[in-house]
Amino acid sequence: MKSVELFIFDMDGVITESSEQHYLAWKNLAEEIGVAIDRSFNERLKGISRLASLDRILEHGGLEGKFTRDEKKQLANRKNQVYVEMISQFREENLFEGVVELFKRLKCRGIKIAIGSASKNAPMLVKLLGIEPYIDYIVNPEEVGNGKPAPDIFLKAAEIMGVDPCRCVGIEDAEAGVKAIKAAGMFAVGIGNSQVMKEADIIFAETKDINIDEVLSRFCQ
């Protein structure tokens, strides 16, 4: 019977809720350049890399082509400074309910745990949230070719951990992330709204609802 060897967790929206801070930092920058964004627009930035998010904001404001590559990098850096300042206050209390229990159960079963986030700030968050001891590997999105929805981030985790993608489970809250997991040939656990997560193999409303036995039995079907 096919067994699961690696769980690859997305960060924002699965382990902790940092999307509000991403949103506020982008809103701050967007206002500086005369673009208005709201929370519903922010849904389109979930799981999307920093520079790709900026491109979506510029397109939204009709400003595509207005900035050079270097100027865009500077804008993205400014957003990141504001974001990092905001999340620097994160502590264990910012973990979603049930995350540590889930990690402990996976470890008991000998299943490895990786973080497959689009965020370059994932290592910092892992430290602040106090979950470093459970994590076997954190993908550095700068070391992979393409961001989500491309499969690269998830494939990198499998490659470094020496696990065949068909023995991996990915957990995501964003449409782009579920697409990335499926493109990697992995089993996808979706967190959140079943409409948004429609391509996932199994869906739970929140991280605390993830039932490992249910995931493993569905995985083997």
Residues at the contact surface with Mg ion, assessed by CB under 5 A:
10, 12-13, 47, 173-174
12 flagged as catalytic: yes
Q: Shortest gap between Cβ of 123 and ligand B16 (angstroms)? A: 11
Instruction: Kindly state whether residue 47 participates in binding ligand B16, applying the rule CB under 6 A.
Output: yes
Residue 191 near residue 13 (C-beta atoms within 8 A): yes
Q: Which stretch binds ligand B16 (CB under 6 A): 47-55, 59-67, 99-107, 203-211?
A: 47-55
Residue 22 or 179 with smaller CB distance to ligand B16: 22
Q: Give whole-number Cα distances, 71 to 15, 54, 90, 135, 150, in Å.
A: 32, 11, 30, 35, 26
CA 66 to chain centre: 29
Instruction: Kindly state whether residue 175 participates in binding ligand B16, applying the rule CB under 6 A.
Output: no
136 flagged as catalytic: no
Q: Shortest gap between Cβ of 157 and Mg ion (angstroms)? A: 15
Q: Give whole-number Cα distances, 28 to 78, 87, 93, in Å.
A: 10, 15, 26
Instruction: Kindly state whether residue 48 participates in binding ligand B16, applying the rule CB under 6 A.
Output: yes
Q: Which stretch binds ligand B16 (CB under 6 A): 48-56, 66-74, 203-211, 212-220?
A: 48-56
Instruction: Kindly state whether residue 50 participates in binding ligand B16, applying the rule CB under 6 A.
Output: yes
The catalytic residue positions are 10, 12
